[in-house]
Structure 1
């Protein structure tokens, strides 16, 4: 991959956030003050007002840069709240720039701001705190020196329905102020323009302002102005804007979902602006997106030609975005260096995704057009993949965005394309896909898009993500929809994931009857149609892996009639070694569970095993032998079969194992050797011991790096030593046991 690895600082921040309780501890407020002695209290309820966190090491100190990055990372990981904000005390951290966005924080948590000298403050879209509350939490130094303030999508109205807008005027040092989409009104606007004489950047988009004329008071200094969705101020707009001779950045776009330019009473304003001569001589950036047919081609071209310093042009949702003069490189000789955000070309779409991450309707439309382009991509495009992820994350609750994004992710990772995308980016893509699946469980096409992306060997085998969560969501999708292609993908994904999660997690998945019923129903339909397709094989693999060392899953399998069904599968697909191997592998998992194996000691199944022991396919014979070894290990008193005696099956078991030729590759994978240990008792029938030691020897020689340490850690070598030292052990058992111990020694494992 051409991308650089994460820096050590980024890795450390991720580790801290993912293991946050290792580094901080909760305190509860009592009548005697704050205490870390929290026995008997619900100390991890982070919304409690009498709770806060502090660093476990009271002497830790994070420099300014690290403190700010830690806060940002905690916000991204959604673990920033009132209780965790307390760790940013002046004793342990130093903050100059603070960003708190879309978090569940209140005035109580923001009190820690008083401990810091803040010059840049971004508090956006907080629902539980007013702008007045935020200002209350600033110390005198910050009030006098704050240079940049962003209170977008917050409210001036506090819990008592009082508004304290006038207090904004106390921030005399402000150079940049964003009050977009608040209740900011005309009266306060006039005061701001009069009192905050250092303002260079102002965003009053979507506010209640009706007359822009007070802006003339800032004409000499103002370089950036955003007045999106400010339709009530149309009449005073052009005369006022003409006074802003130093303006470099102007955003007059429409963004609000409810705004439709066809129904606006003053659509002439934008058209008049583009026709106005000698306006904005220093303009670098102009955004007129969202005005649809109002922005005409020729006036816009004239405006561009008369503003040679223009570097950025926003025309998203405007009809001209598809005009050849803005789409065809050859037609853009006069403005080759102009960066255009639109929907007409790949480059325009990329700029749109970069510049409008917060605008859900812009993002959705851009992703829709991007999807049309990605269908024809033949080479990996990590640049575009990495543009989709941030907007997908920013709008996780918007169905339209998620629908388009999941479709794009599939097109960008399908086939071999994923091999040239960095694993870290793929990991983030999978995480966002899982969030989409959780958020919209009933949306068929979105779920299908997600499965298409996940059904990739590169992703499932090489990329880091929460495999248990993924398997659960995939099984939910499998149970939620009846679709042939979804069924195939879901069981294919689960067949791989089930082998990669812990035994506790496979038990949690497999023990849910609804999942088991669905998987068995899919097998049943193949039996009835006598169809041996890839879906059947994936389903059998998934069931095999889900039952591996999971007594709970094995029990649900039996309760749902799985044993009878699998016997029918063996009979229906006789001599199909691939299916026989998977069936016998699962039955072997059940046979390992002492309290369940009696369900398998039946005439019908033992008759099949008697035949399958002699199979020419070693995989089939091996797993059949494993079942026989476990079923016969309980002794004569538990043998209820009438068609074949236990001694007869033991004889067949010995003959089969003795005739096996060691395969070239690893034939089977085990999570643990513990199921073998009951078979290695010194008083066990040597035929049973023979299968067990052959199996252990096989995996230890084919994959010594994995299995030799495992055998030693689980103390299996002690059982083998006991067999060698026991006078009554069969000579063949002693020989193979000795070979296994020699293999361990050769591979550096002490025995």
Structure 2
């Protein structure tokens, strides 16, 4: 029977945003450090001696492995082996959809006392998985198969098995191939076979060579629920479904199966025990038009009459709901009495013969059936109301074509009307996207509505757990459907509304890899290029060295450099070029390996080319000089900067007034680091070392001490190094001025940081040392007095919300 989803009228009830249970925390810790608890075997891993998981915990562990890690997604690095030993683990469920489980691994897993198995869309199952499943014949109740030619190959998987040999090999009295049962599962209650195609040849043979009805379904006499969603079968097989002879069958789902086959629909009337029947149609073979059956009212009436227990019926995407009767016009003035014939009332479902249903599926039915009054059902799917749409989203989570239509209606409601129950919408979208990762239409349509929830008026009520599910769904979709620009656009725009980088630190590596892969593919897509770089730049901000190294190792420096080269070649200075330099500035911050990568990519040539081509672009120059400051902090790279042309550019920038003091300040910082080395390291004659020192001092004297800054320091380490540079008073002057400016303009942020890193002690030494010039000592004393006269609060970093301009897209409107 169809799941009955309860819509909360006028209430949007959200789960409590509470911490995870201790058990869940321990499981996540185990998964995050899983290889510390495992030993390598020839083909997988096993638990170290002494580690045991009881039955309930084993099921939870496997479920978390499937949904929260990549350890079961890759054939080269999976950990299925930890469940091979039933003495240390005990499973009752195998929720392995979309994993890389192989038939060999499945043979061990099926030795557990399993009640449920889901191996739909498992691409690596290519061996004799039938034998594996039959091992669980005593306990198995629920089985889900299909996808990736899995079921179609069953004939060839059975070749060579004596049990399934041909009649000629076994003699006249042997069972024929069409009569032998493939699955020996006497206690199986629910069977789902999805996405098989009888019209696609597998190894040169069609699926009809494995009689679906005779060898797979009919022998399962205990079946109560059968789901054949999206199975494309020949007419002969469709007609045989009415002759299943399954005495306990209560639920039959044939969504996207009949495709208008009249005789198959009529034959279903023989299944008199059904309580739920689904003959809906959602695929786009009819160009989104409902499937047309002749005499729809008569056919529906025959179905209902033949199934006395039927209380749940889905006829979405068809004309079986009939057509609304023409309103009768009455010219009498008196009111109708209650005793008059009720047939005068409009009938919401012609052919229902007064039957009242618990559930009716009327999404995309002919003549807007879901808009009618007097529909004889407690729950109805359709597009008339928010309740109908959300019910469709929840009920159709395993029916991708109908789910996509439900998502489309929900998207339009978010965009043009008001959705009241955001939490129910969110849970329905996430469930549908998680269950249909392979379907690009589901992912695109679902992500379009996620965008409106994540940025909507109730975004603050989204729990920590829900946020992680949203991020996980988006990354799964972007990873699987990289070629779909609409999917990438929706994913990036939605991710922009999270608090980056903090809310994505748990999946930092994966997100970086996906964004870089996207940028490598889409140099010519201006919007994806812009938003991808924006996200990478956000990921490079406010993170420590480990994460910056990850950015460098995955290729951010190379990608940014290549994009800059293309912009220079095309003589284009735009936001993309500016953010590329900003990203490089952030990525190289106190990260020597990334500075080296930049220089290896010909970074200084890029610097000169951009400067010569766009000398008046203030934002660009500020970002470029900020990056140069990071390069200059790496001592072994300073010799590469000691070039007459480079130093001349840096020195001339000292007089710049572009972007306030930023360009001049950054130029002084670069030169200050060059001057901090021994005098003999200054290997160029012009400009001379003394000339540069003099011009730095003059520049600093021009800067207003209360200047607002467009910079963010996580550490004062490089500046404090220059505070101790007594051999170059210009370098020391720049460093002390920087500390004075930052602590006075942004005291909440930088006073405590300076104290924590020992800056006050260094400045005290400067004030007592005879070598610094008076201007340096005065600034040092000013910093010390200012900090001592105020109560410093712990630093707090506020990341301003930045909205990436762009419209969300729904690819299936």
Give the TM-score normalised by the residue count of structure 2: 0.72
Counterpart of 2:168 in structure 1 is none
Native 8 Å contact 2:662 2:710 kept in 1: yes
2:399 corresponds to 1:355: no
Counterpart of 1:493 in structure 2 is 535
2:323 corresponds to 1:297: yes
Query: CA offsets, 1:245-292, max 9 Å, x none?
Result: x532112334677799999998779952434563333322112234x3
| Residues 296-335 of structure 1: pairs in structure 2 closer than 5 A | 296-297=322-323, 301-304=349-352, 306-308=354-356, 310-320=357-367, 323=368, 325-327=369-371, 331-335=372-376
Counterpart of 1:40 in structure 2 is none
Rounded Cα–Cα distance in structure 1 between residues aligned with 2:719 and 2:266: 84
**Size of the alignment, in residue pairs?**
698
Counterpart of 2:810 in structure 1 is none
Q: Secondary structure at the match of 1:364?
A: helix
Gaps of 5+ in 2: 1-12, 165-178, 197-209, 325-346, 795-813
Distance 1:121 1:554, change over 3 A: closer
Query: CA offsets, 1:138-180, max 9 Å, x none?
Result: 3xxxx34444444456534363535868556754334434456
Query: CA offsets, 1:312-349, max 9 Å, x none?
Result: 222345324xx1x523xxx4345473232x45554433
| Residues 24-43 of structure 1: pairs in structure 2 closer than 5 A | 25-28=38-41
Rounded Cα–Cα distance in structure 1 between residues aligned with 2:366 and 2:31: 45
Rounded Cα–Cα distance in structure 2 between residues aligned with 1:580 and 1:179: 61
Rounded Cα–Cα distance in structure 2 between residues aligned with 1:136 and 1:609: 77
Counterpart of 1:32 in structure 2 is none
Displacement after TM superposition at 1:682 (Å) = 5.4
Query: CA offsets, 1:601-622, max 9 Å, x none?
Result: 646414423413x889344443
2:601 corresponds to 1:561: no
Counterpart of 1:90 in structure 2 is 86
Counterpart of 1:608 in structure 2 is 652
Native 8 Å contact 1:357 1:394 kept in 2: yes
Rounded Cα–Cα distance in structure 1 between residues aligned with 2:429 and 2:600: 41
Rounded Cα–Cα distance in structure 1 between residues aligned with 2:58 and 2:581: 51
Native 8 Å contact 2:94 2:116 kept in 1: yes
Rounded Cα–Cα distance in structure 2 between residues aligned with 1:399 and 1:213: 33
Rounded Cα–Cα distance in structure 2 between residues aligned with 1:620 and 1:544: 14
Counterpart of 1:518 in structure 2 is 563
Q: Secondary structure at the match of 1:572?
A: coil
Structure 2 residue corresponding to 1:4, chosen from 11, 16, 20: 16
Rounded Cα–Cα distance in structure 1 between residues aligned with 2:301 and 2:288: 16
2:225 corresponds to 1:201: yes
Q: Secondary structure at the match of 2:596?
A: helix
Rounded Cα–Cα distance in structure 1 between residues aligned with 2:610 and 2:680: 26
Distance 1:700 1:115, change over 3 A: farther
Query: CA offsets, 1:694-740, max 9 Å, x none?
Result: 43566577467788679867x88897788688775667767877888
Query: CA offsets, 1:618-642, max 9 Å, x none?
Result: 4444323212212322344444666
Distance 1:608 1:434, change over 3 A: farther
Distance 1:407 1:60, change over 3 A: same
Over aligned residue pairs, what C-alpha RMSD do you find?
A: 4.7
| Residues 250-269 of structure 1: pairs in structure 2 closer than 5 A | 250-254=277-281
Counterpart of 1:41 in structure 2 is none
Distance 1:91 1:249, change over 3 A: same
Rounded Cα–Cα distance in structure 1 between residues aligned with 2:194 and 2:559: 49
Native 8 Å contact 2:90 2:112 kept in 1: yes
| Residues 564-583 of structure 1: pairs in structure 2 closer than 5 A | 564-568=608-612, 571-573=615-617, 576=618, 578=619, 580-583=621-624
Query: CA offsets, 1:529-587, max 9 Å, x none?
Result: 8x7x75565444334324434313431564462232343377424xx5x5553343223
Q: Secondary structure at the match of 1:313?
A: strand
| Residues 107-186 of structure 1: pairs in structure 2 closer than 5 A | 107-113=103-109, 116-126=112-122, 127-138=125-136, 143-151=137-145, 155=151, 156-157=154-155, 159-161=157-159, 166=180, 170-179=184-193, 183=210, 185-186=212-213
Structure 2 residue corresponding to 1:364, chosen from 404, 417, 429: 404
Displacement after TM superposition at 1:688 (Å) = 1.2
Query: CA offsets, 1:197-217, max 9 Å, x none?
Result: x44334456474643465456
Native 8 Å contact 1:668 1:699 kept in 2: no
Rounded Cα–Cα distance in structure 2 between residues aligned with 1:600 and 1:348: 72
Rounded Cα–Cα distance in structure 1 between residues aligned with 2:414 and 2:772: 66
Rounded Cα–Cα distance in structure 2 between residues aligned with 1:217 and 1:600: 89
Counterpart of 2:806 in structure 1 is none
Counterpart of 1:211 in structure 2 is 240
Tell me whether 206-215 or 259-268 shows the greater mean CA deviation.
259-268
Gaps of 5+ in 1: 29-49
| Residues 586-735 of structure 1: pairs in structure 2 closer than 5 A | 586-594=627-635, 595=637, 596-599=640-643, 602=646, 604-612=648-656, 617-639=660-682, 644-657=687-700, 662-663=705-706, 668-676=711-719, 679-681=722-724, 683-696=726-739, 702=746
Give the TM-score normalised by the residue count of structure 1: 0.77
Native 8 Å contact 1:102 1:124 kept in 2: yes
Native 8 Å contact 2:103 2:129 kept in 1: no
Displacement after TM superposition at 1:365 (Å) = 3.2
Tell me whether 684-693 or 376-385 shows the greater mean CA deviation.
376-385
Rounded Cα–Cα distance in structure 1 between residues aligned with 2:241 and 2:538: 62
Tell me whether 294-303 or 726-735 shows the greater mean CA deviation.
726-735
Rounded Cα–Cα distance in structure 2 between residues aligned with 1:233 and 1:581: 69
Native 8 Å contact 2:118 2:145 kept in 1: yes
Counterpart of 1:45 in structure 2 is none
Q: Secondary structure at the match of 1:545?
A: helix
Distance 1:345 1:296, change over 3 A: same
Native 8 Å contact 2:651 2:667 kept in 1: no
Native 8 Å contact 1:570 1:583 kept in 2: no
Distance 1:515 1:158, change over 3 A: same
Distance 1:632 1:445, change over 3 A: same
Q: Secondary structure at the match of 1:281?
A: coil
Counterpart of 1:247 in structure 2 is 274
2:50 corresponds to 1:58: yes
Rounded Cα–Cα distance in structure 2 between residues aligned with 1:98 and 1:108: 15
Native 8 Å contact 2:496 2:535 kept in 1: yes
Q: Secondary structure at the match of 1:86?
A: helix
Distance 1:705 1:606, change over 3 A: closer
Distance 1:561 1:408, change over 3 A: farther
Distance 1:213 1:518, change over 3 A: closer
Distance 1:137 1:737, change over 3 A: farther
Native 8 Å contact 2:542 2:714 kept in 1: no
